[in-house]
Structure 1
Amino acid sequence: MVHIHVMGASGSGTTSLGRALSEKLDIAHLDTDDFFWLPTDPPFTTPRDAGERIRLLLEETRRPGGWILSGSALKWGRPLEPLYDLIVFLRIEPELRMARIRAREAARYGDRIGLGGDMEAKSGEFLAWAASYDTAGPERRSLAAHEQWLETQTAPVLRLDSSRDIDDLLAEVLLHPAIAAGAVRRRR
């Protein structure tokens, strides 16, 4: 069983790489947003109770086989930390990351985030929050908080530039000794 946590800023490609790894390794893909947020319309407006989100996530991680967890579980995901075989930390230039986020938001929500749309204000707040990732302090999801958290982890950390092609990122993760050893154990 392999347990990989793929993390980074919003827009850095954690979900995309998590899905690709899940498919390649034929194991579950779990995304922190699915546990952190209650399903609402508009989405991402109501956080789930912390105890409930960790209960749901731990329930999913107990299924047979390994898993990939993408996203960020800072502060609330501590019970998972001893399970990680590898932490993949994605970084990307802020301008490219924000361009990705804007394109993703437009594709997902279209006119709803435009002028006068029902998600205009919430989208603006999200974009401002996402843009401040590289400069915000450690009190919230930020580069500083991620770096601080990474210093406390016992699992190996693989740092990748996510502006690279996803196939290159996938290959680099799969070649990491912590994962290559797990893949060999699974094939036996």
Structure 2
Amino acid sequence: MKSRRIHLMGASGSGVTTLGRALADRLALPHHDSDDYFWLPTAPPYQTTRPAADRLRLMREMFLPRLDWVLSGTATGWGDELVAYFDLVVFVVTPRELRLKRLRAREAAHFGADAVAQGGWRHEETETFIAWAAHYEAGDRDGRSLATHEAWVAGLPCPTVRVDGARPLAELVDQLCTDVAGLHS
């Protein structure tokens, strides 16, 4: 039996998690997100990172050995061990302005519009996060960058596909279902 282990990655706000969930739903596969392993549960969330060894241990316990799954989120810089499991890597590339618009909407939905607005308890953290995410293409800040992702994808031993995260979700899911089917034909 052939496995379907699919990893979706890209910049913050590119639509990786949304696409990963939709693809997992269509293929009836379990979905996992790297943020669930990367961050320790805190209130408010996204304050403390989990040590890389613990992230990988949890992933090995939760899903890596299974035949089929979808993993969304970036693991570059800490998840090289995961590469051997991937049957397909999907690199979601989305225009900067659309990414930032999505991030603002996500922050408002997650924390509340008042919390992220000027004077809100989450405003400064939101603005810092948006500013960090805005530098992805330039790669002039620590963390994820387009250049880092491009280099990582270029070195992968498995098939890769690049998709435009600005395309409608249903179209992207249809395309990826075709790509996944082609892996085993």
CA distance in 2, matches of 1:182, 1:77: 23
The aligned residue for residue 144 of structure 1 is 147
Residue matched to 1:165? 168
**One-letter amino acid of the counterpart of residue 67, structure 1:** W
Tell me, yes or no, if the aligned pair for 2:5 and 2:67 is still in contact at 8 Å. Answer: no
User: How far has the Cα of 1:29 moved from its partner?
Assistant: 0.5
CA shift, 1:70, in A, is 0.3
Unaligned stretches of 5+ in structure 2? none
Does the 8 Å contact 1:139/1:145 carry over to 2? no
Q: CA deviation at 1:181?
A: 4.8
Q: For 1:114, which of 114, 117, 128 is the aligned residue? A: 117
Shift of 1:115: 2.4
Mapped contact 2:8–2:70 kept (Cα < 8 A): yes
Q: Matched residues in 1 for 2:133 and 2:149: separation?
A: 14
Residue 34 of structure 2: aligned partner: 32
Q: Which residue of 2 aligns with 1:94?
A: 96
**CA–CA distance in structure 1, aligned partners of residues 88 and 110 of structure 2:** 31
Answer yes or no: is the 8 Å Cα contact 2:39–2:47 preserved in 1.
Answer: yes
Name the SS of the counterpart of 2:173 in structure 1: helix
Q: CA deviation at 1:130?
A: 0.6
Structure 2 CA distance for partners of 1:157 and 1:64, relative to 1, 3 Å: closer
Q: Which is further off, 83-92 or 58-67? A: 58-67
Q: Following the alignment from structure 1 to structure 2, what is the Cα–Cα distance between the partners of residues 67 and 20?
A: 12
Q: Which residue of 2 aligns with 1:175?
A: 178
* Partner secondary structure for residue 90 of structure 2: strand
Q: Which moved more, 1:142-151 or 1:111-120?
A: 111-120
1:57-110 per-residue CA deviation (whole Å, 9 max, x = no partner) reads 121224644010101001111111011111101111111111111111111112
Among candidates 76, 79, 84, match of residue 78 of structure 2: 76
TM-score norm. by structure 2 comes to: 0.92
Q: What does residue 104 of structure 1 align with? A: 106
Give the Å deviation of 1:182: 5.8
The percentage of aligned residue pairs carrying the same residue is: 43
For 1:95 and 1:124, the matched residues in 2 are separated by: 15
Q: Deviations over 1:149-180 (max 9, x none)?
A: 1111011111111111111001111111xx20
Report the 3-state secondary structure (helix = DSSP H, G, I; strand = E; otherwise coil) of the residue aligned with 1:90.
strand
Equivalenced residues, count: 182
Counterparts in 2 of 1:151 and 1:63: CA distance versus 1, 3 Å: closer
- The amino acid across from 2:77 in the alignment is K
Q: Deviations over 1:30-63 (max 9, x none)?
A: 1000000011111111001111011101212246
TM superposition score normalised by structure 1 = 0.91
Gaps of 5+ in 1: none
